[in-house]
Amino acid sequence: MKIFSGCSNVPLAEKVANELGLRLSPIEFHIFPDGERRVKLNDTVIDEDTVIIQSTAAPVDQNYMELFFIIDALKRSGARSITAVIPYLGYQRQDHVFRDGESVSLQVMIRIMESLEVDNIISIDLHSIKIPELFHIQVKQLSALPLFAEQIKKLSQQKECSLVSPDLGGLRRIRMISELLDNMPWVATVKDRDLQSGDISIKSFEGDMALLKKRVCIVDDMISSGKTIVQSVQLLQKNGVEEFYVFATHPVFSKDATTLLQDSVISKVFVTDTVRIPVEHRFPKLEVLSVADTIAAELQEK
Ligand code: R5P
């Protein structure tokens, strides 16, 4: 097996390769003065099973293009199989038409990858259960929930905890992690979104409020602007919760999310390394858990 990495998350790709006792195969990246990109594989792949690791987080379009070019280069160079490991799948929140006249951006990305003849996709904690069905190729979905469950178990051994999903879209996720934690009690806050402006408001709950403890662990798939988490925390606080721990797989961290989180009453924010966090987006309350072992274990099984 030969493993290549795009530029979006080299530290994660290196960790995965290390876990497998391999080194990343070299690629030459070049940017022309007009911004066009060129990639060139500097390793032979004829009849090899190949893996390309690339998170399609910001800059989303650039990272997707780079992924497409590497897949194309692998195909043209005679790879036997191509597995694209996309720890964070960009555009996954645009997986269907919300308002008439919209494109389904995720579907566009999927069509391109399929036309380039990728054999398999591996991704982590996809936004919706329906996303794998949009692909005509095999998609393996891995999860960071077991990593989060380990941390939540430690927190609940110190003090009783309940789980919280910050929106109803996360109910499946919260039930899954609750099961991993011997059916730890959970509630959800209910998020409404203005489909045009994207503004959100969180004002009510779903579930049995009697189950809400003073310490909660909020679990979500991603943090982008940070508003979902912060508004959920505000409502929980009004309802007697005193301690907040946040768990989100993908640290998308757009706008001033990191300041919002650091300046909040939240004690700690656990995320994973599916998205590389630049130094300027790191903050004292942040702890990053690695999904490298999870990805490596899946590749080993192939
Ligand atoms: C949305 O349904 C997702 O599960 C996340 O809750 C959301 O994308 C987080 O976005 P933000 O941090 O911008 O509120």
Instruction: State the average pLDDT for the chain.
Output: 97
Helix axis angle, 292-301 to 10-19, nearest 10°: 50
Which protein residues touch ligand 1 with a CB less than 6 Å away? 166-167, 169-170, 220-228
Classify residue 247 by burial, with Cβ atoms within 10 Å: 0-12, 13-18, 19+: buried
Q: How far is ligand 1, taken at its centre, from the CA of residue 102, in Å?
A: 20
pLDDT digits (tens, 9 = 90+) for 228-249: 999 999 999 999 999 999 999 9
**Strand 186-193, strand 200-206: pairing:** antiparallel
Per residue in 269-288, is it b (16+ CB within 10 Å) or e — as a string?
bbbbbbbbbeeebeeebbeb
pLDDT in tens, 252-288: 999 899 999 999 999 999 999 999 999 999 999 999 9
Rounded Cα distance, 296 and 17, in Å: 7
Q: What are phi and psi of 250, to 5 degrees?
A: -110, 110
Per-residue pLDDT, 36: 97
Name the residue of 94, 128, 222 to mutate for ligand 1: max ligand atoms within 8 A of Cβ.
222
Question: Which atom of ligand 1 is the closest one to the Cα of 252?
Answer: 12
Mean pLDDT of 91-108: 96
pLDDT band at 198 (very low <50, low <70, confident <90, very high): confident
Q: What are the backbone dihedrals phi and psi of residue 291, each rounded to the nearest 5 degrees, phi first?
A: -95, 10
Residue nearest to atom 2 of ligand 1 (CA): 169
CA–centroid distance, residue 76 to ligand 1 (Å):
38
Q: Which of 224, 247, 269 to mutate to test the pocket of ligand 1 (most atoms within 8 A of CB)?
A: 224
**Ligand 1 atom nearest 224 alpha carbon:** 12
Handedness of CA 225, 226, 229, 233 (dihedral sign): negative
Q: How confident is the model at residue 161, as a pLDDT?
A: 97
Which residues, 6+ apart, have CB-to-CB distance to 150 below 8 Å? none
pLDDT of residue 196: 87
Q: Three-state DSSP class for 46? A: coil
What local confidence, expressed as pLDDT, does residue 267 receive? 98
- Which pLDDT does position 195 carry in this prediction? 87
pLDDT of residue 255: 87
For the cut 80, the answer to whether the pLDDT of residue 302 exceeds it is no
pLDDT in tens, 118-173: 999 999 999 999 999 999 999 999 999 999 999 999 999 999 999 999 999 999 99
Minimum-distance ligand 1 atom for the alpha carbon of 254: 13
Give me the percent of the chain exceeding a pLDDT of 90. 97
Ligand 1 atom with the shortest distance to the CA of 226: 12
Q: pLDDT digits over 11-22, tens only?
A: 999 999 999 999
CA of 253 to the centre of ligand 1 (A): 10
Closest CA to 82 of 124, 113, 110: 113
Length of the chain: 302
**Mutational test site, ligand 1, from 223, 230, 274, max ligand atoms within 8 Å of CB:** 223
